[in-house]
Amino acid sequence: MNLDFSQIVPYIPFMLEGIWVTLKFVFFAIILGSILGTVLALFKIGSAKPLRWFADAYTSIFRGTPLILQLMIIYYSIPQLTGYDISPFLSAILAFGLNSSAYISEIIRAGIQAVDKGQLEAAQALGVPYGAMMKDIILPQALKNILPALMNEFITLTKESAIVSTIGYLDLMRRAQVVGADLFRNFEPLLFVGLIYWCLVMGLTVIGRMVERRLKLSD
Amino acid sequence: MIDVQALSKKFGDNLVLSDITTSIQKGEVVAIIGPSGSGKSTFLRCLNLLETPSSGSIEINGKNLTASKKEIHKIRQQIGMVFQHFHLFPHMTVLENLMYAPMKAKGLKKYDAEGKARQLLERVGLAQKADAYPNSLSGGQKQRVAIARALAMEPELMLFDEPTSALDPEMVKEVLEVMKDLAKSGMTMVVVTHEMGFAREVADRVLFLDHGVLVEEGEPESFFKHPTSERARDFLDKVL
Ligand SMILES: Nc1ncnc2c1ncn2[C@@H]1O[C@H](COP(=O)(O)OP(=O)(O)OP(=O)(O)O)[C@@H](O)[C@H]1O
Ligand SMILES: [Mg+2]
């Protein structure tokens, strides 16, 4: 074994910068995925058949094909079809946002359906309009049940974000490869960013536990 | 006030309510009794369209319910409902439970909603629990909050579905007291109950359902002393 971490020292700032680059698009992807996922979940439990059908088809497609394929299709086909030269950053947000919305919609749907039916009936009996009932009564209670599953999805997204390196986005993973090519040593930089990914995931886990504890206070 | 004509309800092939016709006057307290599975809850739930009737019509204050599905919010706002299992909103305090619907559904200002809510909590004897969460209350307290929550919408009609069946025996009384007060204040009430004492003492009229059929109705005095139908006699023999 001849590990030599001293050689990557000059590259450390370059690799650390990748944290920010990765987090930036992961953050936007999570926002997009959550909003879209909520909308899709509402379609799935709603009474409008075409919307339900659309949401189911959407979920089936995005869960049924590889994420890396979706990423490539967005990155390469949009310029080809529309002439718009989409950046790797935007492609990454779109691919990860659209993809995770499929998973998130399933999590939220299950969460909504697990809320006691009496809550819905109580709100209906009081004459509360559907939108307000969903926003104020059902979704907050669903959220509490699904928080662990949701956190899990965010963690998966953060880890899987490494595949954006394939479209040349200079994220953590890509930076490790760049450094590796520079040094003709791959193991050390890969190990280094591996540690960073692990720290990011631990950070998310801790945040998730904190939020969970917060929500449990009303019990 | 309520006029029910030939109301029937099927769940699939299962005929749960069969051709029920009755009417309820303003200020009247009506008790619905009958064996388990006879359709009491279903009947009550048809009155605010939590269940959609399969046929027949229900008019409340001259408005046909089934024809006014679009306005169902507005109609429901005038009909309070109290459930066996309370269904308080667990993520809101007691006060918020009472203020939520008046603000969201009727557009009441926060200040007015809070004033009204505190007044109602006083009335059900729970003013000191305003800031508690439902899970910290006893069953009897929960049900009194649920009654106050329904009253906060200032309904003209109150529906109760076995409001004391999920309670420990020692808590039944406090809830029945609140309901008696409400009856005295002139509220129109329809109460599904297993509390024959309550039906006898408070109700103006008793409806007896069996297998989805309105078998008998009458004043409590005569109904409990001299039920005319065989089925009502059997039922009363078992429960009294
Ligand atoms: N949502 C539903 N789907 C299918 N069947 C139902 C549904 N709700 C009620 N039923 C059936 O309708 C019949 C009447 O039920 P209902 O709840 O109205 O009876 P009940 O008189 O209130 O009984 P209990 O005293 O046990 O509350 C029962 O046979 C029940 O199984
Ligand atoms: Mg019942």
Q: Which domain holds residue A36?
A: 11-215
Report pLDDT digits (tens) over B161-206.
Answer: 999 999 999 999 999 999 999 999 999 999 999 999 999 999 999 9
Interval B44-56 mean pLDDT: 94
Calculate how close chain A gets to B39, using CA atoms only, in Å. 18
The per-residue pLDDT of chain A, averaged, comes to 93
Closest-CA residue of chain A to B133: A218
pTM for the whole structure: 0.87
Q: What is the DSSP string of B48-117?
A: TTSS--SEEEEEETTEETTT-GGGHHHHHHTEEEE-TT----TTS-HHHHHHHHHHHHH---HHHHHHHH
The per-residue pLDDT of chain B, averaged, comes to 94
Closest-CA residue of chain A to B104: A128
Ligand 1: residue whose CA is nearest its atom 1: B11
Distance CA B33, CA B36 (A): 9
Q: What is the pLDDT of residue A212?
A: 85
Contact B50 A121 (CB under 8 A): yes
Q: How confident is the model at residue B21 (pLDDT cuts 50, 70, 90)?
A: very high
Query: Sign (positive/negative) of CA torsion B120, B125, B129, B133?
Result: negative
Beta-carbon pairs below 8 A across chains A and B: 65
Domain membership of residue A208 (yes or no) is: yes
Domain membership of residue A3 (yes or no) is: no
**How far does the centroid of ligand 2 lie from the alpha carbon of residue B36, in Å?**
7
Calculate how close chain A gets to B236, using CA atoms only, in Å. 31
Q: Which residues of A touch B48 (CB under 8 A)?
A: 125
Contact B101 A127 (CB under 8 A): yes
Domain membership of residue A2 (yes or no) is: no
Nearest to B87 by CA among A149, A38, A128: A128
Domain membership of residue A6 (yes or no) is: no
Q: Which domain holds residue B49?
A: 2-237
Contact A119 B87 (CB under 8 A): yes
Distance CA B203, CA B4 (A): 19
Calculate how close chain B gets to A49, using CA atoms only, in Å. 19
Query: Sign (positive/negative) of CA torsion B182, B184, B185, B186?
Result: positive
Interval B62-69 mean pLDDT: 80
- Evaluate whether A18 touches A170 at the Cβ level (below 8 Å): yes
The sheet carrying B2-11 orders its strands as: B14-24, B2-11, B55-60, B63-64
Number of domains in chain B: 1
Interval A155-177 mean pLDDT: 93
Domain membership of residue A5 (yes or no) is: no
**How far does the centroid of ligand 2 lie from the alpha carbon of residue B172, in Å?**
17
Report pLDDT digits (tens) over A34-55.
Answer: 999 999 999 999 989 999 999 9
Report pLDDT digits (tens) over A124-159.
Answer: 999 999 999 999 999 999 998 899 999 999 999 999
Nearest ligand 1 atom, CA B194: 25
For a pLDDT cut of 70, what percent of chain A falls above it? 98
Q: Which residues of B touch A125 (CB under 8 A)?
A: 48, 50, 76, 79-81, 150
Amino acid at B66: T
Number of domains in chain A: 1
Chain B residues 170-189 with a CB less than 8 Å from chain A: none
Q: What is the pLDDT of residue B73?
A: 86
A217 secondary structure, DSSP code: T
Q: Which residues of A touch B105 (CB under 8 A)?
A: 126-129, 132
Q: What is the pLDDT of residue A2?
A: 77
Amino acid at B22: T
Ligand 1: residue whose CA is nearest its atom 25: B36
Contact B101 A126 (CB under 8 A): yes
Closest-CA residue of chain B to A214: B91
Domain membership of residue A192 (yes or no) is: yes
Nearest ligand 1 atom, CA B40: 21
pLDDT tops 80 at residue A215: no
Q: What CATH number did the domain enclosing A80 receive?
A: 1.10.3720.10
Q: What is the pLDDT of residue B162?
A: 95
Q: Which residues of B touch A116 (CB under 8 A)?
A: 87
Interval B72-82 mean pLDDT: 92
Closest-CA residue of chain A to B94: A218
Q: What is the pLDDT of residue B238?
A: 87
Cβ(B9) to ligand 1 under 6 A? no
Interval B195-220 mean pLDDT: 94
Question: Which residue(s) pair with B15 in the sheet?
Answer: B10
Calculate how close chain B gets to A145, using CA atoms only, in Å. 12
Q: What is the pLDDT of residue A144?
A: 87
Q: What CATH number did the domain enclosing B175 receive?
A: 3.40.50.300
Ligand of minimum distance to the alpha carbon of B52: 1
Contact B104 A136 (CB under 8 A): yes
